[in-house]
């Protein structure tokens, strides 16, 4: 896979630059929620990108304490999260869910460290920059010790939207999502695999819609396997919480308020979120021009030669750093309309990679290590 090798080579070069910058010393780093799908990926990404780590500690709930996780060629023992244990770290990546972030993010900040938080807890807090480095790294210097990582679908979306918004302005986005189960955590991954195994013995029931047999096999009439589910926590006016997050976070990251009209849907895919978007733009933009703009954007790869079998899919995006954009088409009814599809690895650009990139950007901007605590 020469594409994969190229991507790896780029990662290594970027990591070498980081190491040089840190004079080989590195930072004290912690990951909270290290045993979850995102936390686990954060540890892998720190190693893959050779983030300048002087010392790494991994935290989770008491249940996981004592387990060991690989980091490069070492193994690190999981400790139980506590304010005392986190204090003194220069950077703490949070992937432990809302509870851990609510409890400990500002403790890290108050102790002079930087919390980079993957939960939704602080994303819309005006004190907290919500950052995708390729899009709005300029929001970083105003941070007060807590920086938020966006929702995994919002991250994929803004990677495709930001370059077009900068070029011609966006007036409206209609988006339908195809979100993988890992966006819902390890339990959902296990559930999809178990339900898939169970339903492979019930393929007649799937085709007939025999819900009683499907429920007996999986314990639910709404399985993730062989199904398409618009099921999240429900917010106001019939919207899912996921839809409300996508709207608010797209606005905050792009510093814009154009209408974003989302329908979020879970599909039986393990990793990789896909979005199908229709854009109303501020000025006419031909597909070839959109391709040129996106191809020149850091972190975006245009995969758009459908007749040659090149189009974005979640499977192609899995394990990749880039957000893949393709199926870029003219809106025949309007010169300012444009359709496109984007796919990104929800655990990487949608979560762990973006968090580590935020830390890298802080290092590059000499915002890490932070000034000593205000004690």
Q: Which of 64, 195, 227, 354 binds a second copy (CB under 8 A)?
A: 227
Question: 66-82: buried (b, 16+ CB within 10 Å) or exposed (e) per residue?
Answer: eeebebeeeebebbebe
| Ranges within 28-67 binding a second copy (CB under 8 A) | none
Candidate list 89, 143, 165, 273, residue with the active-site label: 273
Stretch that binds a second copy, among 60-68, 149-157, 268-276, 293-301 (CB under 8 A): 268-276
What are the residue ranges of helices labelled H in 175-262?
Answer: 186-199, 203-208, 211-218, 241-254
Q: Which of 25, 209, 371, 374 binds a second copy (CB under 8 A)?
A: 209
Which residue matches tokens 């809106």? 331
Q: Does 265 bind a second copy (CB under 8 A)?
A: yes
Q: Does 197 bind a second copy (CB under 8 A)?
A: yes
Binding mask 157-196 for a second copy (x = CB under 8 A): ---------------x-x-x-x---x------x---x--x
* Three-point CA angle 51, 49, 342, nearest 5°: 125
- To the nearest whole angstrom, how small is the minimum distance from the Cβ of residue 315 to a second copy? 5
Contact (Cβ atoms closer than 8 angstroms) between residue 44 and residue 17: no
165 classed as catalytic: no
Contact (Cβ atoms closer than 8 angstroms) between residue 180 and residue 273: yes
Q: Which of 8, 16, 208, 255 binds a second copy (CB under 8 A)?
A: 208
Size of the site for a second copy (CB under 8 A): 76
Phi, psi of 353 (to 5 degrees): -60, -45
Q: Does 324 bind a second copy (CB under 8 A)?
A: no
Rounded distance between C-alpha atoms, residue 335 and residue 338, angstroms: 8
Rounded distance between C-alpha atoms, residue 37 and residue 352, angstroms: 9
Q: Give the single-character DSSP code of 135.
A: H
Helix (H) or strand (E) holding 300: strand 300-302
Tell me whether residue 93 or residue 181 sits nearer to a second copy (CB atom).
181
Q: Does 319 bind a second copy (CB under 8 A)?
A: yes
| Ranges within 277-306 binding a second copy (CB under 8 A) | 278, 287, 304, 306
Contact (Cβ atoms closer than 8 angstroms) between residue 139 and residue 228: no
Q: Does 203 bind a second copy (CB under 8 A)?
A: yes
| Ranges within 340-369 binding a second copy (CB under 8 A) | 341, 343, 345, 347
Q: Which of 26, 111, 150, 314 binds a second copy (CB under 8 A)?
A: 314
Rounded distance between C-alpha atoms, residue 199 and residue 217, angstroms: 7
Q: Which candidate, 361, 362, 342, places its Cα nearest to that of 154?
A: 342
273 classed as catalytic: yes
- To the nearest whole angstrom, how small is the minimum distance from the Cβ of residue 288 to a second copy? 11
Q: Does 248 bind a second copy (CB under 8 A)?
A: no
Q: Which of 206, 293, 361, 364 binds a second copy (CB under 8 A)?
A: 206
Tell me whether residue 125 or residue 241 sits nearer to a second copy (CB atom).
241
Q: Catalytic residue numbers? A: 152, 273
């Amino acid at each position: 896979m020469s594409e994969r090798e190229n991507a790896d080579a780029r990662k290594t070069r970027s990591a070498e630059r980081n190491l040089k910058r840190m004079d080989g010393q590195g930072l004290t780093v912690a990951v909270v929620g290290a045993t979850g799908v995102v936390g686990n990926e954060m540890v892998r990404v720190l190693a893959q990108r050779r983030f300048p780590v002087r010392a790494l500690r991994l935290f989770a709930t008491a249940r996981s304490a004592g387990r060991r996780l690989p980091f490069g060629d070492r193994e690190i023992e999981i400790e139980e999260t506590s304010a005392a244990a986190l204090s003194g770290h220069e950077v703490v990546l949070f992937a432990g869910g809302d509870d851990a972030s609510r409890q400990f993010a500002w403790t890290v900040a108050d102790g002079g460290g930087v919390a980079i938080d993957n939960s939704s807890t602080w994303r819309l807090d005006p004190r907290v920059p919500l950052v995708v480095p390729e899009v709005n790294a300029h929001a970083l210097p105003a941070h007060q010790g807590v920086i938020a990582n966006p929702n995994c679908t919002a991250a994929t979306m803004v990677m495709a939207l930001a370059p077009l918004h900068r070029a011609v302005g966006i007036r409206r986005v209609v988006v339908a999502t195809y979100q993988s189960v890992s966006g819902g955590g390890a339990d959902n991954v296990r559930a999809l695999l178990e339900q898939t195994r169970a339903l492979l013995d019930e393929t007649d029931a799937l085709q007939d819609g025999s819900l009683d047999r499907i429920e007996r096999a999986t314990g639910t009439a709404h399985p993730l396997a062989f199904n398409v589910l618009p099921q999240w926590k429900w917010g106001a006016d019939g919207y899912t919480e996921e839809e409300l997050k996508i709207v608010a976070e797209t606005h905050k990251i792009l510093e814009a308020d154009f209408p974003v009209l989302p329908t979020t849907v879970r599909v039986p895919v393990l990793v990789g979120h896909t979005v199908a978007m229709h854009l109303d733009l501020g000025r006419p933009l031909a597909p070839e021009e959109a391709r040129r703009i996106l191809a020149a954007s850091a972190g975006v790869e245009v995969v758009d030669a459908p007749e040659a079998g090149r189009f974005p899919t979640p499977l192609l995006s899995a394990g990749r750093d880039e957000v893949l954009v393709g199926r870029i088409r003219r809106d025949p009814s309007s010169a300012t309309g444009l359709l496109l599809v984007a796919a990104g690895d929800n655990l990487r650009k949608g979560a762990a990679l973006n968090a580590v990139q935020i830390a890298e950007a802080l290092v590059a901007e000499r915002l890490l290590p932070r000034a000593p605590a205000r004690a």
